[in-house]
């Protein structure tokens, strides 16, 4: 099998809001803390929320999955500092009003925004790293590290660690079946062996040969 698949955000989103694709905790989840930017003062303030009781596991690491805002998803990987849970997370969503910064070709189009957010309690702040890409895009996992971010031109490997890239690749590829090598090469489904027209012509030839024998 090839490791190429076509990413489609609707399929991605629908997969992770379907509880049958997630595992569930039997007990209540703890409160996790995180920093948000106040819209009025533009300053960072501390906030809190309960971690989702739905999760997936990647390399024995529990990743909480939660619907967020409108058509957005949070994948939280909490870390404990001084016995307090802090909500480090990956955030996916769709922006239909992204404006290209290309001076020679400015236009508005849809993108998928992706943020990695790390909480910094000793600094009363957070660090966010973002990458935008197309809502529908062919992705080759073995070359994922070289995928470019639309809004900044950086490659994924320049922004995220190897461990983070492994988790991101698993998150985005899990909802999609991988293509076979032949499908990736030709764009065709090899399971359709010959098609209806070929079968019809083949059956006709067999009928003609049988008639000649009688």
Strand order in the sheet with 84-86: 44-50, 31-37, 84-86, 79-81
Residue 188: what pLDDT? 55
* 13 Cβ neighbours under 8 A, 6+ residues apart: 71, 73, 92
Residue 156: what pLDDT? 92
- pLDDT, one tens digit per residue, over 96-120 is 877 765 555 556 678 899 999 999 9
pLDDT exceeds cutoff 60 at 86: yes
Domain locations in the chain? 4-179
Residue 120 and residue 41: Cα distance in Å, rounded?
A: 20
pLDDT exceeds cutoff 50 at 187: yes
* pLDDT > 90: percent of the chain: 52
Torsion of CA 4, 71, 130, 164, to 10 degrees: -50
Residue 77: what pLDDT? 96
């Amino acid at each position: 099998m090839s490791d190429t698949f076509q990413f489609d955000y609707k399929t991605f989103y629908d997969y992770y809001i379907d509880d049958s694709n997630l595992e569930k905790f039997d007990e209540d989840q703890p409160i996790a803390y995180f920093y948000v930017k106040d819209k009025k003062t533009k300053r960072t303030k501390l906030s809190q929320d309960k971690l989702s009781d739905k999760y997936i596991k990647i390399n024995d690491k529990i990743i909480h999955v939660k619907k967020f805002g409108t058509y957005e998803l949070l994948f939280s990987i909490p870390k404990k500092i001084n016995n307090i849970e802090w909500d480090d997370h990956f955030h996916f969503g769709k922006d239909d009003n992204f404006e290209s910064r290309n001076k020679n070709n400015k236009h508005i189009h849809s993108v998928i925004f992706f943020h990695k957010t790390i909480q910094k309690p000793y600094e009363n702040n957070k660090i966010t790293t973002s990458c935008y890409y197309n809502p529908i895009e062919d992705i080759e996992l073995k070359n994922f590290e070289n995928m470019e971010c639309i809004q900044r031109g950086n490659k994924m490997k320049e922004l995220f660690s190897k461990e983070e890239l492994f988790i991101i690749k698993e998150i985005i590829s899990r909802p999609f079946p991988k293509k076979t090598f032949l499908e990736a090469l030709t764009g065709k489904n090899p399971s359709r062996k010959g098609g209806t027209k070929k079968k019809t012509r083949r059956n006709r030839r067999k009928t003609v040969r049988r008639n000649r024998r009688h």
